[in-house]
């Protein structure tokens, strides 16, 4: 039996050495025996260094008692209490997490977008629970999927099992804070008219979480127009009634891509095209988690077009384009 264990250890050590040698990444692992496992997104394994997997779990090392780490996530058996009058409590249950959205990194971030999903794994896990803004797809077993609610707030996922202290992870869930508009190439213009238009890519912000899967739409807003745009005063901004679903991954520096917007002044035709005037409207923006979810307003985006002594300017959010009434005609 001892020979078998020794052989197993030798093989294990050999495997560990192979993993360790093959890995060039470095990481920091606590070598102290944990007394409590406070909310953590990374497993704690006692021992030396080595590679880490997707969760940051160490690879290729032995546990405190010389046994192999868990085959899946590298966690170790609970550390037994030592003698004496003040015995330390058992260690916390292992808990690891990775967002299902592949961006933004890190995948074990504690801030999530509304509706975002996280896969949670525990080597010890038998019972899971959640409090706050989110749900679990199941409450038992070694793995669960947490889904953030459709409104901002906090959620705590707790795993408990026999032989370890319950461990938890707290998530800060945020709603879209606004939209980033970036102007695309090209200006729409009809020569001789106070007519200007641009196209812009629209991103849900912030870029620190993923809003992939969120549906978005604009709501109605009345137009206030003066000068060469007077005929548009009081007209409606009738948005598309079909919400658009974000299907792309978050882009660092921009946000989650959601739509292409056509932003135009329109024109009244035969009136004085060189006078001063403007169009302005404040457009409420809505998001939904899924196409049948509740609508939540998160932003108002201002759309302004101005005409001043032949100069034309159009802006929506941070995007803008300029031309002049006399400029040659152009299209997107």
Is it true that the peptide bond before 206 is cis, omega within 30 degrees of 0? yes
Which of residues 108, 235, 295, 320 is near other proteins by CB under 8 A? 235
Q: How far is the CB of 58 from other proteins (least distance, A)?
A: 9
With respect to other proteins, which residue has the nearer C-beta, 61 or 133? Answer: 61
Tell whether the torsion through CA atoms of 100, 105, 110 and 112 is positive or negative.
negative
**Interface of this chain with other proteins, residues 245 to 274, rule: CB under 8 A:** 245, 247-248, 257-270
Site for other proteins in 153-212 (CB under 8 A): 190, 193, 195, 197, 201-202, 212
| Residue 101 in contact with other proteins, rule: CB under 8 A | yes
- Burial degree of 65 (CB within 10 A; 0-12, 13-18, 19+): exposed
| Least distance from other proteins to the Cβ atom of residue 92, Å | 16
Q: Is residue 276 packed enough to be buried (19+ CB in 10 Å), middle (13-18) or exposed (0-12)?
A: middle
Contact status: 124 vs other proteins (CB under 8 A): yes
**Of 1-9, 83-91, 148-156, 174-182, which segment contacts other proteins by CB under 8 A?**
1-9
Quick check: 144 binds other proteins (CB under 8 A)? yes
d(CA 51, CA 70): 15
Binders of other proteins among 38-67, rule CB under 8 A?
Answer: 53-55, 57, 59-60
Min dist CB 82 to other proteins, Å, is 25
Number of residues binding to other proteins, judged by CB under 8 A? 80
CB 272 within 8 A of CB 192: no
Report how far apart, in Å, the C-alpha atoms of 118 and of each of 67, 100, 136, 169 are.
30, 6, 10, 11
């Amino acid at each position: 039996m001892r020979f078998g264990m020794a052989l197993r250890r030798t093989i294990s050590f050999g495997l560990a050495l192979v993993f360790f040698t093959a890995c060039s990444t470095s990481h920091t692992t606590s070598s102290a025996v944990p007394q409590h496992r406070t909310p953590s997104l990374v497993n704690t394994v006692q021992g030396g260094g080595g590679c880490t997997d997707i969760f940051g779990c160490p690879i290729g090392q032995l546990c405190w008692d010389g046994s192999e780490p868990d085959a899946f996530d590298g966690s170790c058996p609970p550390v037994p209490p030592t003698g004496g009058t003040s015995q330390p409590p058992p260690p916390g249950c292992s808990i690891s997490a990775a967002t299902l959205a592949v961006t933004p990194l890190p995948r074990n971030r504690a801030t999530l977008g509304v509706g975002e999903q996280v896969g949670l794994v525990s080597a010890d896990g038998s019972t899971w629970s959640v409090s706050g803004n989110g749900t679990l797809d199941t409450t038992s077993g070694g793995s669960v999927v947490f889904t953030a609610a459709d409104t901002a707030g906090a959620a705590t996922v707790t795993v408990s099992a026999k032989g370890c202290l319950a461990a938890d992870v707290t998530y800060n869930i945020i709603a879209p804070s606004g939209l980033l508009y970036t102007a695309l190439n090209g200006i729409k213009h009809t020569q001789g008219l106070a007519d200007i238009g641009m196209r812009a890519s629209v991103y849900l912000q912030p870029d620190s979480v993923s809003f992939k899967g969120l549906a978005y739409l604009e709501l109605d807003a009345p137009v206030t127009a003066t000068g060469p745009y007077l005929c548009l005063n009081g007209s409606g901004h009738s948005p598309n009634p079909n919400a658009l679903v974000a299907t792309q991954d978050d882009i660092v520096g921009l946000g989650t891509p959601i739509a292409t917007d056509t932003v135009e002044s329109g024109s009244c035709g035969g009136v004085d095209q060189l006078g001063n005037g403007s169009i302005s409207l404040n457009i409420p923006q809505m998001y939904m988690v899924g196409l049948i979810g509740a609508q939540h307003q998160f932003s108002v985006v201002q759309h302004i077009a101005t005409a001043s002594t032949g100069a034309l300017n159009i802006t929506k959010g941070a995007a803008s384009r300029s031309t002049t009434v006399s400029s040659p005609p152009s299209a997107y």
